Structure 1
Amino acid sequence: MVKDTSSKQAIERCITNKYFSVAYLCNEENTMDIHIHDCYEMCFCICGDKHFLIDNKFYDIVSGDLFVINQFESHYLTKINQSALERIVIFIHPDFIKTLSSGHTNLSTCFTNRTQGFTHRLHLTTEQQNSFHFYTDKITSVDSYGSDIIEKACFMELLVMINRIYIDNFDLNTNENDSKQEQPIEQIIQFINQNICKPITIEYLAKQFYLSDSYICRIFKSATGTTINKYITARRISIAKSLLSSGTSVSDVYSQSGFNDYSNFLKAFTKAVGVPPKKYALHSSS
Structure 2
Amino acid sequence: MKHPIFTQGQPYTIAYRKNKPQNPVAIHSHDAAELYLTLTDLEDVILEDKVLRVPAGTLIVIPPFCLHQLYHNSDVFYERYVINIQMKWLDDVFSGTDDSLHYLGQSSAPVLISLSDDQLKEIIKQIRKMIVLGNEFNSRSFSEFFLLMAKIDEAVSETVSKNKDVYNTNKTQEKVSEMISYINDHICDEISVSSIADHFYLNPDYISRLFKRYAHASLGKYISLSKMSAAQNLLKQGFSVKEVQEKLGYSSYAHFFKTFKKIVGISPSTFRKNNAK
- Using structure 2 for the length normalisation, give the TM-score: 0.84
- Three-state SS of the structure 1 residue aligned to 2:161 is helix
Name the counterpart of 1:77. Answer: 70
Name the counterpart of 1:199. Answer: 190
CA contact (8 A) 2:231 2:244 kept: yes
Q: In structure 2, how many angstroms separate the alpha carbons of the residues matched to 1:62 and 1:76? A: 15
CA contact (8 A) 1:45 1:86 kept: yes
Name the counterpart of 1:137. Answer: 128
- State the 1:107 CA deviation: 4.2
Decide which moves more: 33-42 or 209-218: 209-218
CA contact (8 A) 1:36 1:273 kept: no
CA contact (8 A) 2:29 2:68 kept: yes
Name the counterpart of 2:3. Answer: none
Name the counterpart of 1:244. Answer: 235
Name the counterpart of 1:62. Answer: 55
> Structure 2 counterpart of 1:221, which letter?
K
Name the counterpart of 1:157. Answer: 147
Structure 1: tracts of 5 or more residues without a match: 1-15
- State the 1:156 CA deviation: 0.9
CA contact (8 A) 2:36 2:81 kept: yes
Q: In structure 1, how many angstroms separate the alpha carbons of the residues matched to 2:166 and 2:16? A: 29
- State the 1:24 CA deviation: 1.8
* Equivalent position to 2:39, from 34, 46, 62: 46
Decide which moves more: 251-260 or 93-102: 93-102
Q: CA-to-partner distance for each residue in 1:22-81, whole Å, 9 max, x for gaps?
A: 122222654431112221111100111423212212232111111111221111122453
> Structure 2 counterpart of 1:24, which letter?
Y
> Structure 2 counterpart of 1:151, which letter?
S
Decide which moves more: 79-88 or 54-63: 79-88
State the Cα RMSD in Å.
2.8
> Residue 258 and residue 158 in structure 1: after superposition, are their counterparts in 2 closer, same or farther (change >3 A)?
farther
Q: In structure 2, how many angstroms separate the alpha carbons of the residues matched to 1:186 and 1:84? A: 27
For residues 1-286 of structure 1, the aligned pairs below 5 Å read 17-27=9-19, 30-79=23-72, 81-101=74-94, 103-104=96-97, 106-112=99-105, 114=107, 119-142=110-133, 148-173=138-163, 180=169, 182-286=173-277
- State the 1:17 CA deviation: 2.5
CA contact (8 A) 2:245 2:256 kept: yes
> Structure 1 counterpart of 2:267, which letter?
P
- Using structure 1 for the length normalisation, give the TM-score: 0.81
Q: CA-to-partner distance for each residue in 1:70-107, whole Å, 9 max, x for gaps?
A: 22111112245354321111111112223433645754
> Structure 2 counterpart of 1:23, which letter?
A
Give the paired residue count: 266
Structure 2: tracts of 5 or more residues without a match: 1-7
Q: In structure 1, how many angstroms separate the alpha carbons of the residues matched to 2:168 and 2:236? A: 27
- Three-state SS of the structure 2 residue aligned to 1:81 is coil
Q: CA-to-partner distance for each residue in 1:184-242, whole Å, 9 max, x for gaps?
A: 22332222222222222222322332322221111111122222112111111121122
Q: In structure 1, how many angstroms separate the alpha carbons of the residues matched to 2:95 and 2:118? A: 27
